[in-house]
Structure 1
Amino acid sequence: MKKLLLCSIAAIAVCLLLLSFNKRNAPELSQADRDFMTKAAIANMAEIQAGQLALGQGISDTVKTFGQNMVTDHTTCLTELKAIADSMQVTLPSQPDNEHAMVLQTLMQKKGHDFDRAYLMAQLKGHQQAVALFKTEWNSTTNTRLKAFTAKYLPIIQMHLQMVQSAGGMQGMKGM
């Protein structure tokens, strides 16, 4: 009985030691990494919803095509981000924040060419912010999964920015 008790205590001690060792050697997720995941999730959700609006309310083929690309690409990005967050026990928001919700609300009230212009301007601003967000995370994170995630999606977001700048020029919007 004494032997069983000693073996049990030794086994528990080894388990605690291993847990402690793994915790010290696993890179901690910084608050900046958590903030990045939250902001990236919000931006992706807003891009998906705005893209869906473009499909329904856009008048030009350029805006509709761009909207479809946003739905497709940002759904893929959000799905991958959710998997990373789940594996790191980070809870992501389930809907856009107030700032993005207000932009979406404004877009819902627009029709025709007014919608197209407002959508492209919102996309320009949103993708400029997203490029900055992903660059900052890529440069600062020590988490290998987030480093790989940002390295994968930053070029796609930069391509989106170039696309919206071109689309804005085609729509006769100066300064894009």
Structure 2
Amino acid sequence: MNPARFLLPLSLLAAVACSSDASKKDPVAEARFENEKRIGDENITEKQERDATFVVDVASDGQLEVELGRLAQQQSTTPAVKDFGQRMATQHAEISQALGVLAEQKGIVLPAGLGAEQQKTRQELAALTGAAFDKKYLELMVDDHANDVDAFDDMSEDAYDGDIRGFAAKYLPRLKEHLELAKQVQDQVEAAK
């Protein structure tokens, strides 16, 4: 018997065995790993998108708060509502300015003006004066600030970006104060009827 005859098939078998050892990774496991990695990357992206959505929402809400605050100074006949409107216009302009700096640092594009829904809200309020304006404006301010407090509270803990978390935490107390003040002025206006 020629030993070389047996060595050739054994060497081929060994070569195949070695090559299968080198690529012993299970294709299903590899696919699962790649998908988990991809999903992990997308979760980061989703969190960054959530941060950006928060920043854009805060910017657009801030613009509306400023506009409605100015409108309150013109349309209301109640000194407490006029004062509240002036305070909202001033303080939300300050928040918006700080947000603009943050957005620029993070490369987040902010809205250049009011959205369609916000323009509609502004137009509806602009058509009102006196007690009707006060009632609608204060309802909006209570609802809007309650939503703001919830969003800022969530993002002060859950934002992906530390600077955005810090921004939310910094302004959360001021928004809570605005909510309480809106409720107080609303109560005053209701009691004066």
Q: Could you state the TM-score of these two structures normalised by the residue count of structure 2?
A: 0.73
How far did residue 99 of structure 1 move?
2.2
Could you tell me which residue of structure 2 aligns to residue 80 of structure 1? 98
Residue 134 (structure 1) aligned with residue 152 (structure 2): yes
Could you tell me which residue of structure 2 aligns to residue 150 of structure 1? 168
- How many pairs does the alignment contain? 147
Residue 30 (structure 1) aligned with residue 48 (structure 2): yes
Quote the Cα distance in structure 1 between the aligned partners of 2:125 and 2:133: 6
Give unpaired runs (5+ residues) of structure 1.
Answer: 1-26
Q: Deviations over 1:72-116 (max 9, x none)?
A: 110000000000101111110011222222211110000111111
The match for 2:71 among 53, 59, 71 is: 53
Give unpaired runs (5+ residues) of structure 2.
Answer: 1-43
- Cα pair 2:60 2:111 within 8 Å, conserved: yes
The secondary structure found in structure 2 opposite 1:150 is helix
Percentage identity across paired residues of the two chains: 27
- Cα pair 2:51 2:160 within 8 Å, conserved: no
CA RMSD of aligned residues (A): 1.5
Quote the Cα distance in structure 1 between the aligned partners of 2:48 and 2:187: 40
Could you tell me which residue of structure 2 aligns to residue 64 of structure 1? 82
- Cα pair 1:103 1:122 within 8 Å, conserved: no
Q: Could you state the TM-score of these two structures normalised by the residue count of structure 1?
A: 0.79
Point out the structure with max Rg over C-alpha.
2
Which amino acid letter does the alignment assign opposite residue 120 of structure 2?
A: M
Quote the Cα distance in structure 2 between the aligned partners of 1:80 and 1:68: 19
Quote the Cα distance in structure 2 between the aligned partners of 1:89 and 1:172: 44
